[in-house]
Amino acid sequence: MTRSGYCWSAALLLCGLALAMLRPPLSQAQSAKEVYGSDIYWNATPNDVNNLLKNLQELSDINYNMDLRYLKDISPDPEKNPVLFRSGHYNFSYTPRERQRLREFLLSGGMIVYNTGLGSAPFYRSVIRELKEIFPEQPIQRLTSDHPIFHSYYDVDRVSYSQGVRDAGFKGNEPWFDAIEINCRVVALVSRWGMAVGWQDSVKDEYQAYAPESALKLGMNIFSYASAMRAWAKNAAYAMKFIDKEESSSDKVSLVQVVYDGVWKTRHVGLSVLLHTFNQRTEVPVKFKVREMRLTNPDIFNAPLIYLTGHEHFELSAKEILQLRQYLENGGFLLGEACCGRKGFDRAFRQLMKMTLPGQPLQAVAPTSPLYQYPHAIKTLSVTPTLARDLGRAALPPMAEGITINGNVAVVYSRIGLAGGWEMCQSPYARGYGDIGCVKLGHNILMYAMTQ
């Protein structure tokens, strides 16, 4: 049975945080009972958010307050309510109008967080189904433990669960968040196990939930991440919209971005912007356009360069690997990039190269290589603040790796993030080069691929 649900909305402000919870006010309990039946689960943990906000205020010394709203009263402008929070136990579905409203809100810079009440499987399945309807072009995937949302305030790549989670068959100790990411930003986050009872400190053994300490740390991280990403989104001013407008370009040479099962498109205009600036800033007369296709498409053999990127672990089929090998052995050029410097993709890409070109490992590109000479002479590159903190320095020499086949470089790979810089707006959590350095190195890679 499908039941109507209510959302909670949180408005994050730079000076503090105003939390607007979208669930029925207590004065409307009777109407809620008509919707939900005899068990009014929307109010099962009435002190959950209050306790979370209290703890967040004590930890961060920021003033938090709360307001109640209905979904229909949520502004589509993220400036007024940058984060929505929805919790529930039952199956639910949005109307087409609600889906479109949420899509516009999220693409404009907003974020929505879904909490499964006591780990409710029906609610979780409903969320996954609805997110696929809202973003049919962007897969939802589970976040791996190196995702910045698990490290934005606390390091919580390992958590404690109630016995109910174990009884449900989950034996791991990593947090389980699924997400839709667009332009390196989580726009929709789904907690597979309940957080709210942990915030209220009322976890029982039979609940499918995080232990209170883990739940509170995850809550703090979510709000820290959302606040930082919202400030970044405002500064970026979203000059690069999430659109797929195709312009006439019959006179252009096609470069290919590889499509695979998973989130293969992390920055939606990064490569296009790089190609545009490359044409503007060099004397190379060839104009390029970007096409998107799977490796099984024979048209990849017409592309002088193919580009493969992502955040998380991925795998290719045997047929895709075979065609990639044939493409490279026939003179093709692969540019690989771990977007935002994410470890999951880095590990998967290295494994892919071992399977595609066995016995030909990735090796560091020599500092004297033409790759670092033209059109920009590159000796050092600045890095993002997150990577600088990891390395203990603000700049480093370029660290591309490559594979040579028959004397020609067939693969260039960067485990340090590039694409965000091509759009001139690296994520605040990216482990990448600085924006200008990303553009310069990107230009050099294109020139190298076209002229070697």
- List, in sequence order, every residue forming a beta bridge with 308; answer none if it has no partner: 336
Q: How confident is the model at residue 439, as a pLDDT?
A: 95
Residue 242 lies inside a defined structural domain of this protein: no
| Residue 250 or 5, more confident | 250
Residue 246 lies inside a defined structural domain of this protein: no
**Position 339, amino acid:** C
Do residues 122 and 83 share a domain? yes
pLDDT tens-digit series, residues 97-119 = 989 989 998 998 889 999 998 99
pLDDT tens-digit series, residues 127-149 = 999 999 999 999 999 999 999 99
Do residues 270 and 305 share a domain? yes
| Whether pLDDT at 12 is above 80 | no
| pLDDT > 90: percent of the chain | 60
Average pLDDT on 335-359 reads 97
Pairing of strands 306-310, 334-338: parallel
Residue 244 lies inside a defined structural domain of this protein: no
Number of other residues whose CB lies within 10 A of the CB of residue 406: 7
The span from the CA of 383 to the CA of 121, in Å, is 42
Residue 336 lies inside a defined structural domain of this protein: yes
| Whether pLDDT at 55 is above 60 | yes
Residue 258 lies inside a defined structural domain of this protein: yes
Pairing of strands 83-88, 7-13: antiparallel
In angstroms, what CA-CA distances link 340 with 153, 228, 345? 18, 16, 10
Looking at the structure of the chain, the number of domains it has is: 2
Please name the residue that has the structure tokens 């603000």: 394
| Domain assignment of residue 199, given as a range | 7-236
Do residues 259 and 365 share a domain? yes
Per-residue confidence band for 240, with pLDDT thresholds at 50, 70 and 90: very low
Do residues 225 and 343 share a domain? no
pLDDT tens-digit series, residues 61-103 = 555 555 666 777 777 888 777 888 888 888 999 999 989 989 9
Do residues 68 and 201 share a domain? yes
The span from the CA of 432 to the CA of 146, in Å, is 15
| Whether pLDDT at 417 is above 70 | yes
- Mean pLDDT is lowest, of 41-50, 147-156, 380-389, for 41-50
Do residues 206 and 319 share a domain? no
Number of other residues whose CB lies within 10 A of the CB of residue 31: 11
Do residues 65 and 28 share a domain? yes
Please name the residue that has the structure tokens 């490290």: 151
Of 175, 203, 236, at which residue does a domain stop?
Answer: 236
Do residues 312 and 219 share a domain? no
Q: How confident is the model at residue 284, as a pLDDT?
A: 74
Do residues 177 and 46 share a domain? yes
366: tokens are 């020599």
Distance of CA 343 to the CA centre of its chain: 13
Per-residue confidence band for 251, with pLDDT thresholds at 50, 70 and 90: low
Residue 243 lies inside a defined structural domain of this protein: no
Q: 108: domain CATH number? A: 3.40.50.12140
- Mean pLDDT is lowest, of 4-8, 66-70, 284-288, for 4-8
The span from the CA of 133 to the CA of 140, in Å, is 11
Cβ atoms of 274 and 281 closer than 8 Å: no
Cβ atoms of 434 and 381 closer than 8 Å: yes
| Whether pLDDT at 246 is above 70 | no
Q: What's the N-to-C CA distance of the chain in angstroms?
A: 62
Do residues 28 and 157 share a domain? yes
Q: How confident is the model at residue 84, as a pLDDT?
A: 85
| Whether pLDDT at 126 is above 80 | yes
The span from the CA of 269 to the CA of 427, in Å, is 15
Mean pLDDT in the chain? 83
| Residue 2 or 68, more confident | 68
Of 188, 204, 236, at which residue does a domain stop?
Answer: 236
Query: Cis peptide before 375, with omega less than 30 degrees from 0?
Result: yes
Average pLDDT on 245-250 reads 48
| Residue 279 or 259, more confident | 259
Residue 285 lies inside a defined structural domain of this protein: yes
Do residues 120 and 174 share a domain? yes
- Report for 24-33, 49-58, 252-261, 313-322: range of highest mean pLDDT: 313-322
Do residues 390 and 362 share a domain? yes
- Write a three-state SS string for the chain: CECCCCEEEEEEECCEEEEEECCCCHHHHHHHHHHHCCCCHHHCCCCHHHHHHHHHHHHHCCCEEEEECCHHHCCCCCCCCCEEEEEECCECCCCHHHHHHHHHHHHCCCEEEEEEHHHCHHHHHHHHHHHHHHCCCCCCEECCCCCHHHCCCCCCCCCCECHHHHHCCCCCCCCCEEEEEECCEEEEEEECCECHHHHCCCCCCCCCEECHHHHHHHHHHHHHHHHHHHHHHHHHCCCCCCCCCCCCCCCCEEEEEEECCCCCCCCCCHHHHHHHHHHHHCCCCCCEEEEEEECCCHHHHHCCCEEEEECCCCCCCHHHHHHHHHHHHCCCCEEEEEHHHCHHHHHHHHHHHHHHCCCCCCEECCCCCHHHCCCCCCCCEEECHHHHHHHCCCEECCCCEEEEECCEEEEEEECCECHHHHCCCCCCCCCEECHHHHHHHHHHHHHHHHHC
Of 202, 236, 270, at which residue does a domain stop?
Answer: 236
Residue 40 lies inside a defined structural domain of this protein: yes
Q: What is the pTM of this model?
A: 0.83
